[in-house]
Amino acid sequence: MDDALYDLLKRVDTPTVCNAIEVAQGKRGFDDFTRGTMQCSAPGQAMVGYARTARIQAVNPPSEAPEVIKARRMAYYKYMAEGPRPGVAVVQDMDVPNAIGAYWGEINTNVHKAFGLNGALTDGVMRDLGDLPDGFTVVAGSIGPSHGFVHVVDFDHPVDIQGMKVAPGALVHADRHGAVVIPDDVMPRLEAAIAQLFKSEKVVLDAVKDKQIDFAGFEAAWAAFEASRT
């Protein structure tokens, strides 16, 4: 991903990326996105980056020896500190739909931001909303007060975030709407697809936004809109 595309992706929202992928593919039916409503710590900010994946649990205490848990935790942090950038942490909570442990709070967000990651995507819990650092967006499945018995189960394996499969290294875009995985094969066409999408939408928005319009005017604008998308 070159700098121009990265800067563009940071400026657009996730629905735009989802639509642009279909423009680039030349068809509808793209479905590599999250299902259901998610919570966002910074509603006006999108995160873009290559996935550093992990799984956690928090409802029950770990059954392994403390030294095993500690060693895995430090190996996890080493993994998150390395790898391609831009990067995002993508962490599946294995307790979902009964997740109670907020892995993402003031401490962990600051640690992962210091590692150079752009944000975190999880189907689990976040907290400390007033104390999260600027420039590190968290998109989570829920908000809660406790960390429970949260511990890392494994990392650097494929994960599932609300129905979206994410492999390590996948390019993820996420904001207050949820998240998508951008397919590798659309990358060369994605910047042009976003430009085409904006051009097409402008046709109908110029005709209707903050205006009164009759059906004949709408029909003409819609025909031009549809023609611009082909």
pLDDT number for residue 104: 98
Mean pLDDT of 128-133: 96
pLDDT tens digits along 62-107: 999 999 999 999 999 999 999 999 999 999 999 999 999 999 999 9
Compute the mean pLDDT over every residue in the chain, rounded to the nearest whole number. Answer: 95
Q: Can you tell me the distance from the alpha carbon of 10 to that of 15, in angstroms, rounded to the nearest whole number?
A: 13
Is the predicted pLDDT of residue 230 greater than 70, yes or no?
A: no
Two tokens, residue 93? 């909570």
CATH 3.50.30.40 domain residues, the chain? 34-181
Q: What is the pLDDT of residues 174-195, one digit of tens each?
A: 999 999 999 999 999 999 999 9
Q: What is the pLDDT of residue 227?
A: 82
CA distance 117 to 90: 11
What's the pLDDT at 211? 85
**CATH number assigned to the domain with residue range 34-181, chosen from the 4 options 1.10.10.10, 3.20.20.140, 3.50.30.40, 3.30.365.10:** 3.50.30.40
Give pairs for 222-227: CB < 8 Å, separation 24+: 225/200, 225/201
pLDDT digits (tens, 9 = 90+) for 136-171: 999 999 999 999 999 999 999 999 999 999 999 999
Cβ atoms of 145 and 49 within 8 Å: the answer is: no
Predicted structure pTM score: 0.92
* pLDDT-based confidence at residue 130 (cuts at 50, 70, 90): very high
